[in-house]
Amino acid sequence: MTSERYNAREAEPRWQAAWDKKAIFVSKNDDPRPKYYVLEMFPYPSGRIHIGHVRNYTLGDVLARYMRARGFNVLHPMGWDAFGLPAENAAIERKVAPKAWTYDNIAAMKKQLRSIGLSLDWSREFATCDPAYYKHQQKLFLDFLRAGLAEREKRKINWDPVDMTVLANEQVIDGRGWRSGAVVEQREMNQWVFKITKYSQELLDALDTLDRWPDKVRLMQRNWIGRSEGLLVRFALDPATTPAGESELKIFTTRPDTLFGAKFMAISADHPLAVAAAAKNPELAEFIAETKRHGTAQEIIDTAEKQGFDTGIRALHPFDPTWKLPVYVANFVLMEYGTGAIFGCPAHDQRDLDFVNKYGLGNTPVVCPEGVDPKTFVITDTAYDGDGRMINSRFLDGMTIDQAKEDVAKRLEKEIRGNAPVGERQVNFRLRDWGISRQRYWGCPIPIIHCPKCDVVPVPDKDLPVRLPDDATFDKPGNALDHHPTWKHVTCPKCGAKALRETDTMDTFVDSSWYFARFTDPWNEQAPTTLDVVDRMMPVDQYIGGVEHAILHLLYSRFFVRAMKATGHIGMEEPFAGMFTQGMVVHETYQKADGSYVTPAEVKVETVGDARRATLLTTGEEVSIGPIEKMSKSKKNTVDPDDIIATYGADVARWFMLSDSPPDRDVIWSDERVQGAARFVQRLWRLINEAAEIGTAAPPARPASFGPEATALRKAAHGALDKVSGGIERLHFNVCLAHIREFTNAFADVLARGDKPSPDLAWAIREAALILTHLVAPMMPHLAEECWALLGQPGLVSEAGWPQIERDLLVEDSVTLVVQVNGKKRGDVTVPRGAQNPEIEAAVLALDAVKLALGGKAVRKVIIVPMRIVNVVG
């Protein structure tokens, strides 16, 4: 018997090499078996794999290995989301070319990924910064342009005058650029946009079909798309107060029922009426300029104090021309939504209430909650947005909200002013078209040429790819493509005049919006996809990634696939049939007395009594144990996958990642638990060694019958097989691991009995060892290969089929029936499966509870509902 320890460091690279040599994870597009596409969100090549990657890829790998064993043609590819700002920052800070930096990182991370033992098809690998990839992205852009799905549009953007770049809303902090600190300007600039709003309704409706997506992700997308039904209302303006040329104000409301609670009108700082009013009012002009400086990000608007400026203009109530409402310019009204103008009803909208309380405009409640006396119902600091009946609303009084909405809509639709109705029903979406222009070097060039004569000219398909120049320099702020001495100077493909290339590149979210489709045939040089292949291999059956991508990446991808369908590049709408969002890896934090953080590797944690105490390994200085938080560089609470793998091996890291919490929850990194996983590996190895030795004595053929001991073991083995199979399919990996541990314990008990097993038991022991090996193979593939070899099996467990479950071993031996006396439950009874009625009857009548309930009365009848209930009638 071997007592040798399992040596992961020696075994793991050996098995990785064996898998590579046989290319068993390479999937073929002409494989006739049913396909299964597992994909984890591909990484950004930042330089190193972090522990979150290990979790993400392990989850996908378990599923991929399992489905492969179940006989599917599994597609499990990997690539690199390789464009983006960090490469340019590296170029600025370290004077390395973005391309060199990126590919060095890819090489380093690929080596790390290999060390985890993932069953990836590397033959399909690509990086999105490869011209061989982005060439097709440029082709897709041009096809979208021809189909009206891409457009050039003037847009308001945040401009950082120091960094000379456009900033995303998230990069504007208190009105200043996040890097430069310069006051951000709002500029109108030509931007390329994808027309995602053409699909607003469809993207919303189809969410209902995505039944293998988390509800929370679908809800987030629903809110992001933000459909609302409402009414457009044209308010007439009092001519005596209104700048020349203006006569009405159009607003959008979802609450036309509250019209009689109106106290003011508010318009956006960008609204034409605001601009007109400011022309003769310098104070107003200053207020508008100040408001714009604050930026337009939703969060800024939501959190900033509500501020307004009375323009002096008065609007007339649509149901009462003598009722005049002041028109304010307000910082909380966005130009990009609805009409950029609202009427304010403070009693029923918190924002409006905050506003009137500041400016002393008062409020009138118009919806009264059921059961509250309208005479005493007042609103002070908290708006009421619940249900109720209309009050203080003339002809609407007594109606429900819905009735009032309908009544107002009907009346205003019928009322004609000028030659248009005053009210018009409208559906609005929050979703905006996707602006993809970025003033950056390290991104996919937009294949457009600007000609002084022909205006915007698409680069002809035959000239693709438009390649990034390798010799860009980064010594000036702004876009290196724009600074390049020659790159942008071209001749117009239409007329031959001197022309300029578009120097904006695409948002990197474009790169990740179709990579999953490219993986199906990355070898096609002619087109982005190969139709019959992409339609056979897509959709992704199980996509796995972080919830931080629940909105943008997943929504953009859903749009992109629709646009690809419209332009003939794929035959379906939805890219991801199943979506899973994994939790984070978290760790406690350690801080020295001076507040600086130290890494877990630098401290020793001890448990003294009930308390835990942490000290610095080097000096023994006590450090405080802080809260458990997401691993981050700033808090230094990270663990390095390389260290873990070097110390314990990849299988231990994988096992730990799977074992501790459900995969959609956060997992707390714990050294003790990792050591527990390491002990389990050794234990399993010892058990398989013992079993292997016993197994050599087992008869080669399956015995005709099994004794009770062998049967019990076989039941445990097949029971575990059944539960683990179902658990993997539902991604309940932590539950699977609990079943494996339970079965391992049962198996260890049998082996511990020590006496020479009968031939049938020896056979069952060998079977159990093989099943155990299969069960751990998706999670700890290296150890499983080692066990497989030890058990004398041919080939590799990674290419072996999943064991057949013997269903009759899953059937329980006994059944439990509910016992009733005169229809009332009095207990239950357990009898052998297949027991006959007289036997059941005797067992029931022998129960104390039954005797007690009968109270000496004679039994008139016993009714037996097979497998379920016994009713004694007395």
Q: Which spans of this chain sit near ligand ANZ (rule: CB under 6 A)?
A: 228, 252-255, 258, 332-334, 337-338, 340, 342-343, 345, 348-349, 428
Write down the least CB distance from residue 366 to ligand ANZ, Å. 8
Strands 227-237 and 423-429: antiparallel
If you count DSSP H runs as helices and E runs as strands, how many of each does the chain have, helices first?
26, 37
Q: How far apart are CA 258 and CA 348, in angstroms?
A: 8
Write down the least CB distance from residue 107 to ligand ANZ, Å. 48
Task: Identify what 252 binds: Zn ion, ligand ANZ, none; CB under 5 to 8 Å per kind.
Answer: ligand ANZ
Task: Identify what 349 binds: ligand ANZ, Zn ion, none; CB under 5 to 8 Å per kind.
Answer: ligand ANZ
Q: Which residue has the tokens 């899953």?
A: 810
Write down the least CB distance from residue 744 to ligand ANZ, Å. 55
Distances in Å between the Cα of 730 and the Cα atoms of 62, 195, 412, 724 are: 12, 36, 53, 10
Q: Which residue has the tokens 């379920």?
A: 868
CA atoms within 13 A on the CB side of 759: 7
Name the residue nearer to ligand ANZ (CB basis): 427 or 617. 427
Write down the least CB distance from residue 168 to ligand ANZ, Å. 20
Name the residue nearer to ligand ANZ (CB basis): 26 or 334. 334
Name the residue nearer to ligand ANZ (CB basis): 197 or 428. 428
Q: Which residue has the tokens 């007289």?
A: 838
Task: Identify what 495 binds: ligand ANZ, Zn ion, none; CB under 5 to 8 Å per kind.
Answer: Zn ion
Task: Identify what 337 binds: ligand ANZ, Zn ion, none; CB under 5 to 8 Å per kind.
Answer: ligand ANZ
Name the residue nearer to ligand ANZ (CB basis): 330 or 819. 330
Name the residue nearer to ligand ANZ (CB basis): 251 or 694. 251
Contacts of 861 (CB under 8 A, 6+ apart): 872, 873
Write down the least CB distance from residue 306 to ligand ANZ, Å. 11
Write down the least CB distance from residue 332 to ligand ANZ, Å. 6
Write down the least CB distance from residue 430 to ligand ANZ, Å. 6
Q: Which residues of 619-653 are buried (b: 16+ CB within 10 A; e: fewer)?
A: eeeebebeeeeebeeebbbbbbbeebbeebbbbbb
Q: How far apart are CA 292 and CA 300, in angstroms?
A: 11
Name the residue nearer to Zn ion (CB basis): 289 or 456. 456
Of 83, 93, 131, the closest CA to residue 474 belongs to 93
Q: How far apart are CA 526 and CA 415, in angstroms?
A: 59
Task: Identify what 260 binds: Zn ion, ligand ANZ, none; CB under 5 to 8 Å per kind.
Answer: none
**Which long-range contacts (C-beta less than 8 Å, at least 24 apart) are formed by 602-611?**
605/671
Write down the least CB distance from residue 258 to ligand ANZ, Å. 4
Name the residue nearer to ligand ANZ (CB basis): 252 or 514. 252
Task: Identify what 492 binds: ligand ANZ, Zn ion, none; CB under 5 to 8 Å per kind.
Answer: Zn ion
Contacts of 507 (CB under 8 A, 6+ apart): 434, 435, 436, 437, 438, 443
Distances in Å between the Cα of 244 and the Cα atoms of 250, 317, 357, 417 are: 17, 21, 32, 19
Name the residue nearer to ligand ANZ (CB basis): 252 or 706. 252
Write down the least CB distance from residue 120 to ligand ANZ, Å. 44
Binding site for Zn ion (CB under 5 A): 451, 453-454, 492, 494-495, 497
Q: Which residue has the tokens 């953007």?
A: 157
Name the residue nearer to Zn ion (CB basis): 453 or 467. 453
Name the residue nearer to Zn ion (CB basis): 35 or 152. 152
Name the residue nearer to ligand ANZ (CB basis): 6 or 384. 384
Name the residue nearer to ligand ANZ (CB basis): 20 or 229. 229
Write down the least CB distance from residue 309 to ligand ANZ, Å. 16
Write down the least CB distance from residue 393 to ligand ANZ, Å. 12
Task: Identify what 342 binds: ligand ANZ, Zn ion, none; CB under 5 to 8 Å per kind.
Answer: ligand ANZ
End-to-end CA distance of the chain: 65
**8 Å CB contact between 786 and 6:** yes
Name the residue nearer to ligand ANZ (CB basis): 225 or 586. 225
Name the residue nearer to Zn ion (CB basis): 448 or 720. 448
Contacts of 111 (CB under 8 A, 6+ apart): none
Q: What is the DSSP letter of 759?
A: H
Write down the least CB distance from residue 446 to Zn ion, Å. 17
Q: Which residues of 415-447 are buried (b: 16+ CB within 10 A; e: fewer)?
A: eeeeeeebbeeeebbbbebbbbbbbbbbbbbbb
Name the residue nearer to ligand ANZ (CB basis): 250 or 553. 250
Q: What is the DSSP letter of 463?
A: G
Task: Identify what 615 binds: ligand ANZ, Zn ion, none; CB under 5 to 8 Å per kind.
Answer: none
Write down the least CB distance from residue 458 to Zn ion, Å. 12
Of 137, 154, 244, the closest CA to residue 191 belongs to 154
E strands, 436-495, are 437-438, 448-451, 455-458, 489-491
E strands, 41-98, are 73-75
Task: Identify what 454 binds: Zn ion, ligand ANZ, none; CB under 5 to 8 Å per kind.
Answer: Zn ion
**8 Å CB contact between 566 and 525:** no
**8 Å CB contact between 849 and 827:** yes
Write down the least CB distance from residue 354 to ligand ANZ, Å. 13
**8 Å CB contact between 781 and 774:** no
Write down the least CB distance from residue 429 to ligand ANZ, Å. 9
Write down the least CB distance from residue 501 to Zn ion, Å. 13
Report CA 5 to chain centroid distance, whole Å.
41
Beta bridge partners of 152: 192
Tokens coding 572: 């379906």
Task: Identify what 345 binds: ligand ANZ, Zn ion, none; CB under 5 to 8 Å per kind.
Answer: ligand ANZ
Q: How far apart are CA 597 and CA 87, in angstroms?
A: 27
Tokens coding 473: 């320099």
Task: Identify what 451 binds: Zn ion, ligand ANZ, none; CB under 5 to 8 Å per kind.
Answer: Zn ion
- Give the burial class of 591: count Cβ atoms within 10 A of its Cβ; 0-12 exposed, 13-18 middle, 19 or more buried: middle
Name the residue nearer to Zn ion (CB basis): 446 or 674. 446
